[in-house]
Amino acid sequence: MGQNTLKNTANSDISTLGRKRVEEALQENERVTSTLLNNLPGMVYRCLNDEHWTMEFLSNGCPDLTGYLPGEIIGNNVISFQQIIHPDDRISVRSNVQATLREKKSFQLTYRIRTKEGNEKWVWEQGQGVFSAEGELLALEGFITDITERKRAETESKSISEIIKGVTNTSNLDELLKLIHQSIKKVLYAENLFVALYDKETELLDMRFFVDKYDSVPPPSRIGKGKTAYVFRHGRPMLMNQRMSEQLQEEGEIELVGTPPAIWLGVPLRTQSEVIGILVVQHYENENAYDRRDLEFLTSAADQIALAIERKRVEEALQASEIVHRQLAERQSTLLDALPARICLLDKNGDIIDVNKSWKHFAIENDYSGDDFGVGTNYLKTCESSNSEFADKAKEVADGCRAVLSGKSNQ
């Protein structure tokens, strides 16, 4: 074998070995890339910048995120990604992406999607444009991940905070209950919601707040055998679908009241000492409208809601008491003014708290200079310090008043 032949053979072997190593390196790189893509908590994508966001590539995280297989979305075979984006968020998503593409910057978005099962998810997306050497936009590449749990936790926290602040930001219980309804709506479906409060004096459950698609507000009623009464009696939250409702009816535990919902969620409103009422949400069509997470949220919120309601009820009771007290004081003043005798009212310390017209006229006739007519001064000390010709009589009056105030005498 000649020298050239040996050299050519050696070069051929080296070339083959080199190609094999390159192929192995490429395979390893593909394996690493595939492993990374398949283990990311979300999906990697490549799409066109068209009206459909037509997908050219989707990683294996697509089904967990959207419910669809990659092949159902790629090329808009079954559905486009534009259709998966929540209708209320489509315009903002497009405008934000286009604005960053014009500046050739990366973008970050937070928006909602609707999965194949019909569920709503919050997602976070980061992506950027892929441009040619000439600056032509070829595609978009990026990553989308599910942030529903984080978004839900933020919304729940904000909702409870609004309810707590509502105690001071609302003027009465009705306003507070409206605020509670609006706060809960930000977390879960609450188009059918009511708050029933128990009145211990009348022993009735009163619907203090009630919104419903089908039923009208029921009058106050005694605790019967409806679902609301069942939760009130047992004092524990309950998530009840139609099957569970029918089972409890068969067992005689509850009776059907109102339009039957597909799913019903009720939680007791409990203070430190007792259950003061019930909060209920229900859905008439979707039996999957609520889950254990919703039950846990309303249960945790119920304590704050009960506290807020109780404080507002106390405030209203105090306001009512003040009105009654003021009305009684006005009537008392009218009655005293009608009497010809000179009368002053004393508190337990002997301070003058009110006087009638006859007293005021007497003071004016005797050249009393103040406009308070003695209100706020201590009548007993005034009598005891008298040095007029009626000083002895004044001291007797002071002793008599002191005896009455101390309970030693009733006249």
Question: Sorting pLDDT into bands at 50, 70 and 90, what band is 380?
Answer: confident
Lowest mean pLDDT among 41-55, 72-86, 210-224, 307-321: 307-321
Alpha helices for 260-356 (secondary structure H): 292-338
Contacts (Cβ under 8 Å, ≥6 apart) of 190: 181, 184, 281
Average the pLDDT over 30-34 and give the result: 52
Q: Which of 272, 271, 281 is nearest to 305 (CA)?
A: 271
Question: What fold does the segment set 165-318 form as a domain?
Answer: Beta-Lactamase (3.30.450)
pLDDT at 37 over 60: no
Query: How open is the CA angle 272-277-283, to the nearest 5 degrees?
Result: 130
Q: Which of 263, 281, 276 is nearest to 305 (CA)?
A: 276
Question: Sorting pLDDT into bands at 50, 70 and 90, what band is 279?
Answer: very high
**Highest mean pLDDT: which range of 62-66, 345-349, 357-361:** 62-66
pLDDT at 22 over 50: yes
**If residue 123 lies in a helix (H) or strand (E), which one and from where to where?**
strand 120-131
Q: Are strands 204-211 and 120-131 parallel, antiparallel or unpaired?
A: unpaired
Whole-model pTM: value is 0.62
**CA–CA separation, 258 vs 218, rounded Å?**
9
Give the residue with greater pLDDT, 2 vs 125.
125
pLDDT at 36 over 60: no
pLDDT at 40 over 70: no
Specify the CATH superfamily of domain 42-146: PAS domain (3.30.450.20)
Q: Which two tokens stand for residue 228?
A: 């609301």
- Give the pLDDT score at 174: 87
Question: Sorting pLDDT into bands at 50, 70 and 90, what band is 388?
Answer: confident
- Give the pLDDT score at 404: 86
**Which amino acid is present at 70?**
P
Contact (CB, 8 A) for 49 and 129: yes
User: Distances in Å between the alpha carbon of 101 and those of 53, 89, 107, 133?
Assistant: 14, 18, 8, 16
- Give the pLDDT score at 32: 47
Contact (CB, 8 A) for 401 and 379: yes
Indicate left, alpha or beta for 48 from its phi (over 0: left) and psi (-120 to 50: alpha): beta
**CA–CA separation, 83 vs 77, rounded Å?**
12
**CA–CA separation, 302 vs 306, rounded Å?**
6
- Give the pLDDT score at 142: 94
- Give the pLDDT score at 144: 96
- Where along the chain do its domains lie? 42-146, 165-318, 340-405
pLDDT at 282 over 90: yes
Q: Which of 2, 355, 302, 330 is nearest to 180 (CA)?
A: 302
Q: Percentage of the chain with pLDDT > 70?
A: 88
DSSP assignments along 342-405, one per residue: --EEE-TTSBEEEE-HHHHHHHHHTT---SSTTTTSBHHHHHHT--STTHHHHHHHHHHHHHHH
Model confidence over 171-196: pLDDT tens digits? Answer: 888 898 999 999 999 999 999 999 99
Q: What is the mean pLDDT of the chain?
A: 86
pLDDT at 326 over 80: no
pLDDT at 65 over 80: yes
Residues 389-396: contacts with CB within 8 Å, 24+ apart?
none
- Give the pLDDT score at 316: 67
